[in-house]
């Protein structure tokens, strides 16, 4: 991905913003401090931001805010699920916007970050200038069934799914999310980490299946891995705290702003039906489906498409 990106930009001293209930969120601020603000919303939930992600944006035009959501990345306390719900994250975004004196900002979200961007835009439409959504996750029952159930991705990767589901006692396998949640939140850290690793490896297999030349690594260190999976299972168990307000039912509350939806046709984490459905639900939205591309931001075609999307918006957005 490196050769496709803008050069590294200067970063202000990281902000560790107190958002209440014992949480501090880490905010890294790049680019033009008087430029149009971009709020980068990472996935997971729980993944945190990577510093090179600011390089997707023209640093002469944009002020890029990489924000680690509650319990994620460099935010503290790591892996904390107390007072950590979607509504808390939405309030944190407003707290940050108010703290920085930002009137409107572009929301840039991938996977769970796209979910969060849509919910925020439905809740606070007047402060959103545009949306750029990658690998959209709509958090519907069918999306969870695809990823965790026996009739979805499991049919494509049966060996990997068996490694994921097989260690769970048979009487618990109808609720794998609950089974994993109980174990990764258990009192023994070593046992919890073992289960977290299994959860991570299943997701990694589904996300990276199309990258034959990808260098395999060990993934996050044990501490970060457990923190991430604790947050992921917490949100999944609670159906992402969307309650009785599914994302698609709230489309009419979105602001009339540019919406760009970019999705890999080979995405098996969030199959591209979600992007297609969302595009047809949002009048005037722009959909770009990328052949031979999966779920990950780092895939060259995905990186290029997202840079093009934010470059196009430079002449459209005003503060």
Q: Report the alpha-carbon distance of residue 92 to residue 23 in Å, rounded.
A: 10
Same domain, 133 and 254: yes
Owning domain of residue 303: 2-139+243-313
Same domain, 263 and 125: yes
Same domain, 133 and 227: no
Residue 102: DSSP 8-state: -
Closest CA to 112 of 219, 247, 1: 247
Question: Is residue 176 one of the residues assigned to a domain?
Answer: yes
Same domain, 153 and 124: no
Helices (H), the chain: 86-100, 112-123, 141-148, 158-165, 176-184, 189-208, 222-237, 273-281, 300-313
Give backbone dihedrals phi and psi of 296, rounded to 5 degrees, phi first: -85, 140
Positions annotated as catalytic residues are 111, 267, 295
Q: Which pLDDT does position 173 carry in this prediction?
A: 96
Residue 214 has pLDDT above 70, yes or no: no
Q: How many domains is the chain built from? A: 2
User: Are 50 and 26 a contacting pair, CB within 8 Å?
Assistant: no
Residue 140 has pLDDT above 60, yes or no: yes
| DSSP per-residue letters across 166-204 | TTS-GGGGGGHHHHHHHHHTSS-HHHHHHHHHHHHHHHH
Q: Which pLDDT does position 219 carry in this prediction?
A: 62
Question: Is residue 114 one of the residues assigned to a domain?
Answer: yes
pTM (global) more than 0.85: yes
What does the angle CA 223 – CA 225 – CA 228 come to, to the nearest 5 degrees? 110
Q: What is the per-residue pLDDT across 71-88, written as a single tens digit (0 to 9) for each? A: 999 999 999 999 999 999
Q: Report the alpha-carbon distance of residue 207 to residue 88 in Å, rounded.
A: 28
Closest CA to 63 of 310, 256, 278: 310
Domain boundary among 207, 240, 273: 240
Contacts of 225 (CB under 8 A, 6+ apart): 193, 196, 197, 200, 219
Percent residues over pLDDT 70 in the chain: 95
**Other C-beta atoms within 10 Å of 249: how many?**
12
Element (H, E) at 286: strand 286-290
Question: Is residue 195 one of the residues assigned to a domain?
Answer: yes
Question: Is residue 203 one of the residues assigned to a domain?
Answer: yes
Same domain, 229 and 258: no
Same domain, 301 and 251: yes
Question: Is residue 318 one of the residues assigned to a domain?
Answer: no
Q: Which residue in this structure is represented by tokens 């640093």? A: 59
Q: What is the per-residue pLDDT across 286-307, written as a single tens digit (0 to 9) for each? A: 999 999 999 999 999 999 999 9
Question: Is residue 319 one of the residues assigned to a domain?
Answer: no
Residue 63 has pLDDT above 70, yes or no: yes
Same domain, 105 and 14: yes
**Average pLDDT taken over every residue of the chain:** 95
CA distances from 177 to 61, 154, 231, 237 (A): 42, 15, 12, 6
Give backbone dihedrals phi and psi of 150, rounded to 5 degrees, phi first: -80, -15
Q: Which residue in this structure is represented by tokens 């060996």? A: 159
Domain boundary among 240, 267, 294: 240
Same domain, 307 and 221: no
Domain boundary among 184, 210, 240: 240
Q: What is the per-residue pLDDT across 254-287, written as a single tens digit (0 to 9) for each? A: 999 999 999 999 999 999 999 999 999 999 999 9
Task: Residue 292: give its domain's CATH number.
Answer: 3.40.50.1820
Q: Which pLDDT does position 44 carry in this prediction?
A: 96
Question: Is residue 188 one of the residues assigned to a domain?
Answer: yes
Same domain, 60 and 151: no
Same domain, 217 and 289: no
Both tokens assigned to 257: 């702003």
Same domain, 247 and 273: yes
Q: Report the alpha-carbon distance of residue 271 to residue 316 in Å, rounded.
A: 30
Is the bond preceding 45 in cis, omega lying within 30 degrees of 0? Answer: yes
Question: Is residue 261 one of the residues assigned to a domain?
Answer: yes
Same domain, 99 and 220: no
């Amino acid at each position: 991905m490196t050769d496709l990106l803008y050069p590294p930009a200067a970063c202000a001293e990281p902000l560790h913003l107190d958002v209440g209930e014992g949480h501090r969120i880490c905010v890294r601020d790049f680019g033009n401090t008087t430029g149009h603000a971009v709020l980068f919303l990472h996935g997971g939930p729980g993944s945190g931001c990577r510093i090179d992600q600011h390089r997707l944006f023209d640093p002469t035009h944009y002020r890029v805010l990489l924000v680690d959501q509650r319990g994620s990345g460099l935010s503290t306390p790591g892996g904390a699920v107390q007072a950590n719900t979607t509504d808390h994250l939405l309030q944190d975004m407003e707290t940050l916007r108010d703290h920085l004196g930002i009137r409107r900002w572009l929301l840039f979200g991938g996977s769970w970050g796209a979910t969060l961007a849509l919910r925020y835009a439905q809740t606070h439409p007047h402060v959103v200038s545009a949306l750029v959504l990658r690998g959209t996750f709509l958090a519907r029952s069918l999306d969870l069934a695809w990823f965790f159930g026996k009739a979805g991705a499991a049919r494509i990767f049966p060996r990997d799914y068996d490694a994921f589901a097989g260690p769970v006692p048979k009487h618990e396998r109808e609720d794998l999310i609950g089974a994993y949640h109980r174990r990764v939140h258990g009192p023994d850290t070593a046992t919890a980490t073992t289960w977290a690793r299994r959860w991570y490896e299943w997701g990694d297999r589904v996300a990276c299946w199309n990258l034959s030349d990808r260098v395999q690594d060990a993934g996050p260190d044990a501490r970060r891995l457990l923190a991430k999976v604790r947050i992921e299972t917490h949100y999944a168990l609670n159906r992402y705290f969307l309650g009785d307000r599914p994302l698609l039912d709230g489309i009419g509350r979105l602001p009339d702003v540019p919406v760009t939806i970019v999705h890999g046709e080979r995405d098996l984490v969030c199959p591209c039906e979600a992007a297609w459905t969302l595009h047809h639900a949002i009048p005037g939205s722009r959909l770009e489906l990328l052949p031979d591309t999966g779920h990950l931001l780092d895939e060259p075609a995905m990186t290029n498409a997202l840079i093009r999307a934010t470059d196009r918006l430079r002449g459209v957005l005003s503060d």
